[in-house]
Amino acid sequence: MSKFDRPLPKRQLRNTVIVAFVICVTLMTGWELYWRDFGVPASYRNSEGLWTIQRRRIDNGEGDKTVLTGSSRVFFNTQLDVWEAESGQRPIQLALEGTSPLRIMEGLADDDDFTGTLLVGVAPMLFFSGFEYRQAVVDRYGKETPTQWLGQQISMPFEPYLRFYFPDYALFQILHRQDWTVREGWNSNIVLDVRKLANYRKDRNARLWSKVADNEDYRNEARMIWESGFVPMDERDDAFKTMALEGRATQIERAVTATKKLHERGIDVIFVRNPAEGHYAMSEPMFNPRAETWDVLIEKTGALGIHWLDHEELQGFYLPEWSHMTGSEADRYTKALYHVIQRELAAHKNMQSE
């Protein structure tokens, strides 16, 4: 035996493994029960892999369906069950929260497998800036590795049964959002993380979590996050204003180019402006006046535009945190929106044929 060899002392490894396993299960059970008591319902994770599965449905023979894209307002407010009940066909949900839909729109414009109808939600602060909070989701489509695919398949059977298995309840995420004391002299610009707002099904049907509406503290926290970092337009410097105007023009041209490609293939494109109130009713017109953004978009693309302020049927819904509807309200809104679209699309086509 070499003088460098060190024999391991005899241990009861079997007992050690059992004790470690019991401790792990006990802690995990306690963590799970804590979040169930908090009111967290069953939900799939709104993951990159789940979006990729839905996107690939177009490649696998379902390209003739209605595809929904946009930001969280289309995502949360458009209920797939209701749309299917009204139309007889269940749409494909590709909307992404906090993310401009333009890259998704451009991808569909270049995809010959897509032959259906495209609904594009326009949340002004996102659409006309091109901001992509979930950029990695779109990146994953076409680049998903076998390991990523396998990880998604393994994860999904567990997701609806484990309440703690959601990004908002990860231990380090919880530690990050604690109100830690900032050391004197340290300039800390803390970005508030968006909390869990919705519950998701396997086909990405999203429904606003009832806690947002029923719990005043939770609702106010969501509103505070939406307001955080806001600086009025007239307090911005000239460089910011110039950048915003140039960016707005760029995003509109991107939409024009993509819409033209889709129209050339006979695909109907419908831009939808969903309701907003509170902080957003003030900030969105301030940064993106309708006459300079929405009206220009519709005129230049030649697409059908449905703006909630133009249709009484799309008004008067309850948005607890100013941007998204409760589940029951979203059901009513989806039904109303579907019929407004059908009516206006028929009129739009008649006008074009004259």
Q: Round to whole Å and give the CA distance between 80 and 91.
A: 6
User: How many alpha carbons fall within 13 Å on the CB side of residue 177?
Assistant: 13
Q: 58-152+198-353 maps to which CATH number? A: 3.40.50.1110
Give this prediction's pTM: 0.91
pLDDT exceeds cutoff 60 at 188 = no
pLDDT exceeds cutoff 80 at 62 = yes
Q: What is residue 120's predicted lDDT score, i.e. its pLDDT?
A: 99
Q: What is residue 149's predicted lDDT score, i.e. its pLDDT?
A: 97
Q: Round to whole Å and give the CA distance between 327 and 337.
A: 15
Q: Round to whole Å and give the CA distance between 287 and 276.
A: 14
The 3-state DSSP class for residue 52 equals helix
The stretch 179-194 carries a mean pLDDT of 66
**DSSP annotation string for 114-131:** --SEEEEE--HHHHTTT-
Least confident residue range of 84-98, 139-153, 234-248, 280-294: 234-248
Q: Round to whole Å and give the CA distance between 45 and 167.
A: 8
pLDDT exceeds cutoff 90 at 178 = no
**Annotated domain spans of the chain:** 58-152+198-353
Q: Round to whole Å and give the CA distance between 212 and 40.
A: 11
The number of beta carbons lying within 10 Å of the beta carbon of residue 29 is 10
Q: What percent of the chain has pLDDT over 70?
A: 94
